[in-house]
Chains A and B, each alone.
Chain A
Amino acid sequence: MPGTDPRLLLLSPLDNVFVLRGVVEAGEKILLSGTETRVESRIGLGHKLARVVIPKGSKVMKYGAPIGSASQDIPMGAHVHTHNLISDYTPTHTLELARDEFAEASAERAAP
């Protein structure tokens, strides 16, 4: 992909996300299809970065296929993950969510 940071992998020309084959640090300015874009947060190996602006409600495409819908407007160059992408099938259960639920339940038990 000319004009694109070599750490970004495009799996299909239909995709609106890149997959990272290396870490991108917060504040780095990287090339996305010829456009220099500032990355706001650290993004790790195997994670996704928006190739273009992805409007809320539209499909996120990876492998040339929809992998869910944007739950908010996603700027170009942003980390695409559980905070802005939701499954069209079953909700994703993360460890953070389980921890928060556990904390809430504990707080309720502790309340008089």
Chain B
Amino acid sequence: MKGYPRSDGRKGIRNIVSVVYLVECAHHVAREISTPYRDVAHLIGFPGCFPNEYAQNMMEKLGTHPNVGAVLLVSLGCESFNRYQLESVIKASGRPVKTIVIQQSGGTLSAVRAGQAWVAEQAAILANASMVPMDIGELTIGTVCGGSDGTSGITGNPAVGRAFDQLVAAGATCIFEETGELIGCENIMAARAKTPALAEELRASVQKAERYYATLGFGSFAAGNADGGLTTIEEKSMGAYAKSGLSQISGLIKPGDIPPKGGLYLMDVVPDGEVRFGFPNISDNAEIVEMMASGAHMTLFVTGRGSVVGSAISPVIKIAANPHMYARLSEDMDINAGKILEGSASLDEVGTEIFELVMALASGTQSKSEMLGHTEFILTYKTFEPIGPACLPA
């Protein structure tokens, strides 16, 4: 395994140019810039014109993500996003960075031409970048589930849990999340905390999620879940929780916090304070973006109904939870965990298959969604307080 060395000591498994629009009004220009170079230039952005500390932090973390080698910022010119601060943080990381302000560039065509010229120049440099040996302990892996059904919790999710156990044992950093779907698991999860004080923080994060969702008037148990064989919210939660495996929980982080060392971490994705901007994560890619902001080199995505998404910046491994969906969508699925239902593979075997695919991707193999050119990205408004001192015990 080899990686691209970065000034903060981390290493990337990809080396992309990130093309970033800083308001929806710059989206078209940024897309026109990146499209001809889509293999190496990934389009990301923030649509809002109002300032938001969370979005600023997320963009700073993504602009300095280990898989990112260079960054082009595309500004309309009058939005509130602090492009000066973002450019300065990226520059301080040693990465090439350039800002194009459309209002000062002569308009759409001129901005697109200038942007494409810069991306072409950077792509050529990145293609010849040198790599250094990289250890499994330097990898950060996230996991999410989406389009779940009754099979996710008995095949794909526990198989990811087995893969996480192997990764954590080998020194890697693993992150799981979805505190709203851990309701009912708080005590069993807290029992795995490294310290009693961390156990309290883990419990509190689930209680916060319970309150937040109650205010939204939205239960996390849909009527259709019962058709798939799920009976109670705690059963559904346990299915999602199975992704975390059995390792000790080393800490609680919030989006953008970089875990200080290897181990298993819970990401608290539910905003702090009063309910302000609506649902915590409006779709699966919002979760993947937060994993990346905390350094995830790739994301393990378990799906029962059959999501086809990938992600900008960090590859996504898609794990099909049942054999019927795998057969329907095999061109999008990397792993068939449905084999467990058919009895032709055990959880341990599929866990090892996932682990081996993680190693292959880290060594440059592309996932299905990567080959298909999926680079979904979404970032919306949120508010967070910093984590408390008990969240990351020494």
Contacts and interface: CB of A to CB of B under 8 A. Distances in A.
Interface of A: 6-7, 9, 11, 19-22, 44-48, 62-63, 65-68, 80-82, 85-90, 92-95, 98
A108 B322 CA distance: 43
Interface string B148-168: 011101100010000000000
Interface string B184-223: 1100100000000000000000000000000000010101
B106 interface: no
B340 A80 contact: no
Given A87-B232, A98-B223, A21 B340 contact: yes
B150 A45 contact: yes
B232 A67 contact: yes
Contacts, number: 96
A88 B150 CA distance: 20
Contacts of B241: 63
Nearest to A98: B223
Given A67-B232, A85-B231, A85-B232, 10 more contacts: A19-B154, A19-B229, A45-B151, A45-B322, A46-B230, A62-B238, A63-B242, A67-B234, A93-B219, A95-B227
A1 B202 CA distance: 34
Interface string B166-193: 0000000000000000011100100000
Nearest to B157: A63
Contacts of B230: 46
A17 to B, nearest CB: 10
A98 B219 CA distance: 14
B342 interface: yes
19 contacts: A7-B343, A9-B154, A11-B154, A20-B229, A21-B341, A22-B341, A45-B151, A45-B229, A46-B151, A46-B229, A67-B231, A81-B229, A82-B226, A82-B231, A88-B234, A89-B183, A92-B226, A94-B223, A95-B224
A102 B27 CA distance: 46
A92 B232 contact: yes
B235 interface: yes
B373 interface: no
Contacts of A66: 234
A44 B149 CA distance: 13
A99 to B, nearest CB: 10
A63 B238 contact: yes
A57 B219 CA distance: 25
B233 interface: yes
Contacts of B185: 65
Contacts of B227: 95
Contacts of B232: 67-68, 85-89, 92
B393 interface: no
Given A46-B150, A86-B232, A93-B221, A21 B238 contact: no
- Residue among B226, B242, B322 with the highest chain A CB neighbour number at 10 A: B226
B228 interface: yes
Contact of A65 (B158, B188, B219, B223): B188
A92 B221 contact: yes
A11 to B, nearest CB: 6
Closest 4 CB pairs of A and B: A46-B150, A46-B229, A47-B229, A87-B232
A89 B341 contact: no
A89 B46 CA distance: 37
Nearest to A79: B229
A82 B221 CA distance: 13
- Residue among B151, B153, B239, B341 with the highest chain A CB neighbour number at 10 A: B341
Contacts of B224: 95
Nearest to B188: A65
Nearest to B304: A46
B223 A95 contact: yes
Nearest to B183: A89
- Residue among A46, A48, A65, A85 with the highest chain B CB neighbour number at 10 A: A46
Contacts of A22: 341
Given A67-B231, A67-B234, A90-B233, A11 B158 contact: yes
Contact of A89 (B153, B228, B233, B342): B233
Contacts of A80: 231
